[in-house]
Chain A
Amino acid sequence: MSLLELKNVYKIYGELHALDDVSLTVEKGEWVSIMGPSGSGKSTMMNIIGCMDKPTKGEVLLDGVDIAKESKKNLTNIRRDKIGLIFQQFHLVNYLTALENVMLAQYYHSMPDEKEALEALERVGLADRAKHLPSQLSGGEQQRVCVARALINYPEIILADEPTGNLDEKNEEIVVELFHKLHDEGTTLIVVTHDPEVAEVAQRTLVLRDGKLSKEIVNEHFTGKIRFDDQNPF
């Protein structure tokens, strides 16, 4: 059974079909990129997969559970237990330290564990910045705190929305390297991006256009590393 399966999913706002008959599957441990221009429906898909929104029509099976039929409360529980979210804008709580920001996800999941949170920061190379406030961290460091927060509860899927959108090349590489490590550990990754260099490091790239899946590219030379050269298929 696939970890995630979308069957004929529609999301309609009035006349606008933000998602129009989208079907896809993501296997456990897979690294998938979702690409597309602005307004193609990437964020809508991200919201639905992330249990933050429901489709107008269709089935969204996450670990066998149709989230389209779940209540708001259950969606929150599924999100808390199965999904780790990474945002373009980082969204760290500005009055909490890096460590406390990681512990926040633990707090809403189960019990805050400072030692475990510190280990998560160590995994992203920020143990020495644990007591710093977000305002004292660089963009790349903030995104790494965001990654640590996303992985702290051992989610089934890590869902990253434009994770490198606000980062320079060096930090982009660091974050992609982190994704690579997570993938090696068996974490399922879904990365929404419009950056071809980030998209192509995934095992598979789905291209959205006007709410429809227009192309699927399988990376036969998957390495999990960015190729800053002309061989990029995008």
Chain B
Amino acid sequence: MFGRMIRGTLVRQWKKMLMIAFTIALGASLASAMLSVMLDVGDKVNQELKTYGANIKVIPKEASVLSDLYEVEDGNAGRYLKEDELGKIKTIFWAFNIVDYAPFVNAKSTLDDGSEITVVGTWFNHHMDLPTGESLDAGVASMRSWWDLKEGSWLDEQAGESADCAMIGAEAAKKLGVGAGDTVNVSGSSADKQLKIVGVYDAGGEEDSEIYCTLDTAQELAGLDGSIDSIEVSALTTPDDELSERAAKDPSSLTVAQKEQWYCTAYASSICYQIQEVITDSVASPVRQVADSEGAILEKTQLLMVLITILSLIGAALGICNLVTASVMERSQEIGLMKAIGAHNGSVSLLVLTEIFITAIIGGVAGFFAGFGFAQIIGHSVFGSAINMRPMVIPIVAVLVVIVTLIGCIPAIRMLLRLRPTEVLHGR
């Protein structure tokens, strides 16, 4: 009989139930879309921010001490990192989070007119075959994606003829009156080179007055074979929290369990720590500005999504509240009759709640799939990639649908409990 009554309500009052299902679907879709994006947004924002450059810088330990003591940014106190250890960066625990990196060698050089210029040796699109079997193209071509190419093209290390090729900053090019296809003679401390300009870039910073060439060329100019000044690393990181901040100050202050947790979480500080473990006598530190913006943007984005989710659920609860209350009001005679012929409040409430929950399940499932679709639209339009659906979204959305439906039903159930058969049955 209970089933017949439920079926009767759902089938014969399908328009009302459809409205309730639609309201629940709307709330559930927004909640599942926001939750999916929110849970995936960390990686997406990180990836997005990676296009704005490295977030970890590795320098020799001595250079770091001097830099800390005298607040000097440039110079490495005659200490260098080893080029042959570069591949080890992709062997650390969080190797998969290292999306790009490039070594740098600064060769102070002199031009034909006697003026000085910094020739920076680096990787552009350096190809590496890793011990893990993977291969990686790393370098500034992707790490300096904001450079505006004014003339020519990016230096292609894999083209074969990259030796003695270079890219020149717009300011330096203007000063020297050179462009793509021209040559520039530079004299380093160990060698002289004639560099062929393949491209002119506008970086909007001090790089505009520098020349960028391959690592080997700069090493020859400076006489630093096998040595590098610094490494810039672009890594996917988890925003800092209390644990990571404590660890960044002093890893030894952590308990074994805390240290394990910290080490196994992709905090910038734990990745730095792991890089230091594989690069001899190095200090890896997060580029604070980028790391902080990542954290701040991520927190704000997630907060915004939580607010949207809460607001959408409040909206859904209010909608359900109105619709269910209207439905109970409309059915007051039917409910009054049930009470008059012996139904207790519990059994009438159970009937109404079952109807609403069946409707909620239908609306919730539809809303979940619609939300998954919304999440993909958000993913493609904002981040240019799909949003991965985390399995945990399903129970969270289910619990939220139950809570919202229950809250939405409260006024209707209160009305139902207060309803007296005498008030609705006489009809006069």
Contact = CB atoms under 8 A, between A and B. Distances in A.
Partners in one complex: yes
Interface of A: 43, 47, 50, 52-53, 73, 76-77, 79-81, 85, 87-89, 91, 93-96, 100, 103-109, 112, 149, 161
Nearest to A44: B422
Contacts of B422: 43, 47, 52-53
Interface of B: 1-2, 4-5, 8-9, 11-13, 333-334, 336-344, 347, 420-422, 425-428
B7 to A, nearest CB: 9
B427 A88 contact: yes
Given A95-B9, A95-B13, A105 B344 contact: no
B341 A85 contact: yes
Contacts of B1: 100, 103-104, 106-107, 112
Contacts of B338: 104, 108
Contacts of A76: 339, 342-344
B342 A108 contact: yes
B4 to A, nearest CB: 6
A149 B340 contact: no
Given A43-B426, A104-B341, A105-B341, 6 more contacts: A43-B428, A79-B342, A88-B427, A93-B5, A96-B4, A108-B347
A109 B333 CA distance: 19
Q: By CB atoms of chain A within 10 A, which of B334, B340, B343, B422 has the most?
A: B340
24 contacts: A43-B426, A53-B422, A76-B339, A77-B342, A79-B340, A79-B341, A85-B341, A88-B426, A88-B427, A91-B334, A91-B340, A93-B5, A93-B8, A93-B337, A95-B9, A96-B4, A100-B1, A100-B8, A103-B1, A104-B5, A108-B338, A108-B341, A108-B342, A108-B347
A103 B334 CA distance: 15
A53 B421 CA distance: 9
Contacts of A89: 333, 425-427
Top 6 A-B residue pairs of the complex, sorted by shortest distance between their CB atoms:
A80-B342, A95-B12, A95-B8, A107-B1, A108-B342, A89-B427
Contacts of A107: 1-2
Interface of A (DSSP majority class): helix
B331 to A, nearest CB: 9
B380 to A, nearest CB: 45
Nearest to B4: A100
Contacts of B341: 79-80, 85, 104-105, 108-109, 149
B105 to A, nearest CB: 83
A60 to B, nearest CB: 15
Contacts of A50: 340
A109 B342 CA distance: 7
Contacts of A104: 1, 5, 338, 341
A119 to B, nearest CB: 17
Contacts of B427: 87-89
Contacts of A109: 341-342
B356 to A, nearest CB: 16
Given A52-B421, A96-B5, A112-B1, A73 B426 contact: no
A53 B422 CA distance: 8
Nearest to B426: A43
A95 B15 CA distance: 14
B8 A96 contact: yes
B323 to A, nearest CB: 18
Contacts of A103: 1
Contacts of A80: 341-342
A85 B337 CA distance: 9
Contacts of B12: 94-95
Contacts of B421: 52
Contacts of A81: 342
B134 to A, nearest CB: 64
A37 B121 CA distance: 108
B5 to A, nearest CB: 7
Nearest to B420: A52
A52 B426 contact: no
A93 B344 contact: no
Contact of A108 (B9, B333, B343, B426): B343
A167 to B, nearest CB: 15
Contacts of B13: 95
Contacts of A52: 340, 420-422
A43 B420 CA distance: 14
A64 B52 CA distance: 88
A108 B2 CA distance: 10
A87 B425 contact: yes
B57 to A, nearest CB: 72
Nearest to A72: B345
Contacts of B347: 108
Q: By CB atoms of chain A within 10 A, which of B5, B333, B334, B426 has the most?
A: B426
Contacts of A73: 344
Contacts of A112: 1
Nearest to A146: B337
A93 to B, nearest CB: 5
A141 B211 CA distance: 99
B374 to A, nearest CB: 35
